[in-house]
């Protein structure tokens, strides 16, 4: 399947699934994302106003340095994997 054909199945909004969608936008992960967003705003001034790609870079960057961020990213991705595993092959 081509990359641009893989639309997100967790929200059915027709968005192409990629790291940015999962990390920042998908409504199917809104609950799981809350704490990560809260922590990012707390530790990094101006994060919320950044462009999506820059936000992602900062989250990954902080996840390497700070355990709290890493745990939240892991929590988010755990839900992504559960969803992907459940799909018919
Ligand atoms: Zn989605």
Q: How many Å apart are CA 11 and CA 67, to the nearest integer?
A: 28
Using the mean position of ligand 1's atoms as its centre, give its distance from the Cα of residue 5 in Å. 13
Using the mean position of ligand 1's atoms as its centre, give its distance from the Cα of residue 30 in Å. 9
Confidence category of residue 51, pLDDT binned at 50, 70, 90: very high
Res 47: pLDDT? 98
How confident is the model over 60-79, as a mean pLDDT?
94
Q: How many Å apart are CA 18 and CA 26, to the nearest integer?
A: 10
Confidence category of residue 83, pLDDT binned at 50, 70, 90: confident
Non-local CB neighbours of 5 within 8 Å, separated by 6+ positions: 16
How confident is the model over 17-46, as a mean pLDDT?
92
Q: What is the pLDDT of residues 3-29, one digit of tens each?
A: 566 788 788 788 887 889 889 999 889
Q: How many Å apart are CA 38 and CA 73, to the nearest integer?
A: 12
Res 63: pLDDT? 96
Boundaries of every domain in the chain = 3-86
Residues with Cβ–ion distance below 5 A, ligand 1: 8, 10-11, 26, 28
């Amino acid at each position: 399947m081509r990359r641009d054909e893989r639309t997100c199945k967790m929200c059915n909004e027709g968005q192409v699934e990629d790291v940015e969608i999962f990390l920042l936008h998908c409504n199917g992960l809104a609950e799981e994302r809350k704490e990560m967003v809260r922590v990012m705003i707390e530790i990094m001034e101006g994060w919320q106003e950044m462009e999506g790609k820059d936000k992602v870079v900062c989250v990954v960057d902080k996840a390497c340095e700070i355990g709290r961020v890493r745990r939240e990213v892991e929590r988010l991705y755990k839900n992504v994997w559960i969803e992907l595993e459940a799909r018919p092959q």
